[in-house]
Amino acid sequence: MTQQLQQLLKQAHTLLDQASDHPQYQRLLKRGFTPENTIFNAQRLIVSLELEIKDFTQESMVEQLVDVIANARLEASKKIAEYIVFESEEQGVTLADLLFGFAHVAFNQGLEESARFLEDASEKCRA
């Protein structure tokens, strides 16, 4: 939660505390004043608002973190792909053959879905 918003909500708590302690308010209560919305209810609503804002900002931070991680993975994947292409060219191996080899490794490891993906990629490289 931003500091300004926290400060405003804290001020609201302080004002409500001052109102509940105010002599005129206390006299009204002694004379039988029973407001539909009490100061306690207002304070409870402010606390509820604070918690909802905190939850929302935490969710927002989680979403931002997920985006950062996804972007980092994408960048890492690009670097790995560049390295593989460079090394395969250096070794005189075609990318299609390399992907086909990875497909066999994936299949032997029980990763059938990955193996199919790599075989498809290998065929696309050959085309």
Please give the model's pTM, rounded to 2 decimal places: 0.49
Q: How many residues appear in the chain?
A: 127
**What pLDDT sits at residue 68?**
85
The parts of the chain modelled with pLDDT lower than 70 are: 1
Number of domains in the chain: 1
Say if 113 falls within a structural domain. Answer: no
Residue range of the domain that includes 14: 3-74
Does any domain span residue 95? no
Residue 36 located in a structural domain: yes
The answer to whether residue 79 sits within a structural domain is: no
Whether residue 44 is contained in a domain is answered as yes
Q: How many CB atoms lie within 10 A of CB 121?
A: 17
**Amino acid at site 118:** L
Residue 14 located in a structural domain: yes
Q: Is residue 83 part of a domain?
A: no
Q: What pLDDT shows up at residue 1?
A: 55
Please give the Cα distance from 88 to 105 (Å, whole number). Answer: 17
